[in-house]
Amino acid sequence: MSNDLIKFGVILSLTDKFGGNAAKATKKAMGFDKSINGINKKIGELNKLSKQGSAFKGLATSFRQTQKDIVGTTSKVTSLQKQLDKLGSGGKGFKTKHREMIKLQRQLTNQKQRLNENRRALQQESHALKQNGGEVKNLNRYLKQLEKQKTRLRNQRSKQENLGLARSRIEGVKSRYGRQARWAVAGSAVLGAGAGR
């Protein structure tokens, strides 16, 4: 029985070393869950913002391209107008060039209209991004930081969960040897009383 008492002492010292109990470890693991869920929510918001950022970049690219198209078409119109002025209304090939001019002018009008639409869309996207506090260039970097933070929390949660299992086992062993120790003490008391008689 004295051997059981020694074992019980070892179990007690192990429990003190780990500190707390399984319930506390489990509660702490659940706390990590809450933090991870919070990060997941933030990542979801940022992914949405990142899509807005991508849309903004796409619109900006389209806007710049339309500006280039307008410059090119305007240059063509100017060049053609000079040719028409030189030929005069009765010159050879005037009608053909005049038809080409009408086509180019229509194209230019459409391009200017598209530019205005792009400008309005850009302003709306820019406003939406500012409202959400988003900086397009920093979004991806921030998302990577959050993913690293989430991985770190998951690792901590896993450690805490394992610690909870270890504590649970220790508490089970402690309970078992505690019962044996109480039986040993009780048995010693009975034997002592018998010897006294």
Q: What is the CATH number of the domain that holds 70?
A: 1.10.287
Under the banding of pLDDT at 50, 70 and 90, the label for residue 103 is: confident
Residue 196 lies in a domain: no
Q: Report H helices in 88-135.
A: 94-131
Residue 86 lies in a domain: yes
pTM of the model: 0.40
Residue 197 lies in a domain: no
CB-side neighbour CA atoms (13 Å) of 150: 14
Residue 32 lies in a domain: yes
CA angle 36, 40, 44 (to 5 degrees): 170
Question: Per the structure block, which two tokens stand in for 170?
Answer: 């220790």
Q: Does pLDDT of 169 surpass 50?
A: yes
**% of the chain surpassing 90 pLDDT:** 0
Q: Report H helices in the chain.
A: 2-18, 22-87, 94-131, 136-196
Which amino acid would we find at residue 163?
A: L
Rounded CA gap, 157 and 32, in Å? 6
Is 11:173 a contact under the CB 8 Å cutoff? yes
Q: Does pLDDT of 170 surpass 50?
A: yes
Residue 170 lies in a domain: yes
Is 61:113 a contact under the CB 8 Å cutoff? no
Per the structure, how many domains does the chain have?
Answer: 1
Mean per-residue pLDDT over the chain, rounded: 66
Residue 102 lies in a domain: yes
70-100 burial, b for 16+ CB within 10 Å, e for fewer?
A: beebeeebeebeeebeeeeeeeeebeebeeb
pLDDT digits (tens, 9 = 90+) for 61-97: 777 777 788 788 888 888 877 777 776 666 677 778 7
Residue 195 lies in a domain: no
Residue 55 lies in a domain: yes
**% of the chain surpassing 70 pLDDT:** 39
- In whole angstroms, how far apart are CA 77 and each of 65, 74, 85, 94? 18, 5, 12, 15
Look up the domain containing 62 and give its range: 2-190
pLDDT digits (tens, 9 = 90+) for 34-63: 666 776 777 676 666 666 666 667 767 777
